[in-house]
Amino acid sequence: MVDVETTGGWASGDRITEIGAVKIRNHQVVDEWHSLVNPQRAIPAKITQITGITLCDFYGIELETHHRALCDARATGHLLSLKREGCAPDRAEEAA
């Protein structure tokens, strides 16, 4: 079985945030795998409520507050600053 989480339901603008898979044999889970996929765009609050995934998960931003909106705003600002500096979004961790 495969499951995909996204930033929404529109193929033209929403992006994948997580892919998961489980291998089932004789009605038993025998293996599982998952990976986050950086959507390189904001994650709507409603999607964070459903999946628990925020941009902070992709940039390793840890804040003492548990306020997800603040965390996402900080991660979005980080992504925008990388774009302004000409860094490719997929190389964000190297540039940080």
Measure the CA–CA gap between 73 and 2, rounded to whole angstroms.
Answer: 30
- Report which DSSP code applies to 90: G
Residue with tokens 């033209």: 12
Measure the CA–CA gap between 57 and 13, rounded to whole angstroms.
Answer: 21
Residue-wise pLDDT tens digits, 23-79: 999 999 999 999 988 888 888 888 888 988 888 787 665 544 445 555 666 666 655
In the prediction, which pLDDT does 62 show?
55
DSSP SS3 for 74 = helix
pTM beyond 0.85: no
